[in-house]
Structures are given as structure tokens and as C-alpha cells.
Amino acid sequence: MSGYGIRSVEKAFLVLEVIRDVGGTAKLRDIALATEMSVSTVHGILDTLVALGYVIRQGLDYSIGIRLHHLGKSSEQRETELLRLFEPALQAANRLCKMTTILAVACGTKTYVSLKVLDKMGSEEARRELSDAPITFTAIGKIFLAHDSALARRISIQTPITFDMQEELKRVRDQGWAIEDSDRSQERCLAIPLRYKGALVAALGMKCLAGDACGIDLESLAKRIINELYPLLSL
């Protein structure tokens, strides 16, 4: 029963994400097609969401409801506060490393969200962008896993964390940074934890194409950033 309940929640959020991704309004059959669920299943989910106020039905169209907007306000306020706190660290790291620089927060057990991304010239490249890489394959993700034991436990329930990964996460905790430059990616990435009142709240990431990073010693760069920018990294 609990497994069914969890799956039902996943389906409901998938429906909401489809409505959002198509611009905020969608028809039943279009949602069913996008989610690869049956029309009857999607109809039942939508009826429940409409009854709860998270979706509005107008004729054949379904839109995001006011209740969901209110639910998201606290998250937006938190993101705004994190940007206010760590924008100086983001800007300073970007000037120092001349690489694409990211301010990121964890997003569930599968990925993270980039609150703000600066290109290597310091111009804003993106905001509130969801990473498409699994959290265990990224330097930023490893920062969250290494410093958030509850997150690591939740992930291990879904996908066992190997002994090698456990050892790597221990090194990340001990040294204070994570590096991802394996053959899985054409990018080389560095990530450093950001703390507020002692608690991990975000991560600072730096990345560039592998070809562009051949002359960059990421470990030395990590030590330099921590040494020179520490007052901006831990508030």
C-alpha cells in the first residue's frame, strides 16, 4: 500500500510538471500523452488536484491552481534569500576562476537546481535551471551527499551507494570540495559547500569543457577559493 501511495504522488507531480512545461494550461489527452499514462488515470489525478485546489478546470483545459502558487511562495522566498546571501560568493568565485559558475540547491534525491549561473565572462547565463544529470554523477551533487546524511540515506534506499562512492564522499567531507572530471562527462567540474549558521544550504559550482580545462588544476583552484573567499562561503 505504501509503495502504491508513493507512486501515486509521483504521478500527480508529473501531471503538474507537464501542465507547467506547456505554459500553464493543457488538455487531458495532451497530459496523458506527455506522461505516458492512460487517459483514465490522468483524469482521476486531475479530478483530485482540482478538488484540492492545485489545478483549475475550465472546459477542456486544466491550469495550475492558486493553491499551488501559494505553496510555492515559501520556496521562492528561500531562494531569494539564498541569492541575497551568496551572490557575493558567486560573483567573487567567477572573477577568480574565469569559469562558468553556479549557485545551486538540492532538489529531491535525483538532481539539483541552479538558482543562478554566470558564464566565464561574468554574464548571467541562466536562473532556476534544473540539472539533467543524476546527483551522484556531479561535483555539486556530491557536495550535498557528503554533507547531508539524511539525503544520502534516502538515495541509498533507491540506489545502493557503492563502497567506492562512500569513500569518495568521505574525502569530500574531509577536504571541503568535490571534483568531477571522469569519462562520463565532457566537462570538468569543481564544487564547494556554502554554509549559513553552520548548516549546509547550497553549493558553489565551477565548470568548463574538458578541452578548455586542460591547464587548470582544480584541486589548487579549490584550495585558493576556500582560502581567499572563506568569509563569503560560510556566513
Per-residue cell: 235: 556566513
Residue 184 has pLDDT above 90, yes or no: no
Confidence band of 7 (pLDDT split at 50, 70, 90): confident
Query: Which domains occur in the chain, in start order?
Result: 2-64 (1.10.10.10), 74-233 (3.30.450.40)
Q: What is the mean pLDDT of the chain?
A: 87
Per-residue cell: 111: 538532481
Per-residue cell: 85: 546571501
Alpha-carbon 31 to chain mean position:
24
Please tell me the predicted confidence (pLDDT) of residue 79: 87
Confidence band of 5 (pLDDT split at 50, 70, 90): very low
Please tell me the predicted confidence (pLDDT) of residue 185: 59
The percentage of the chain sitting over the pLDDT mark of 70, rounded to a whole number, equals 92
Confidence band of 231 (pLDDT split at 50, 70, 90): very high
Average pLDDT over residues 180-197: 83
Please tell me the predicted confidence (pLDDT) of residue 2: 38
Enter the pTM of the model.
0.75
Please tell me the predicted confidence (pLDDT) of residue 208: 83
Please tell me the predicted confidence (pLDDT) of residue 3: 40
Please tell me the predicted confidence (pLDDT) of residue 211: 63
The percentage of the chain sitting over the pLDDT mark of 90, rounded to a whole number, equals 55
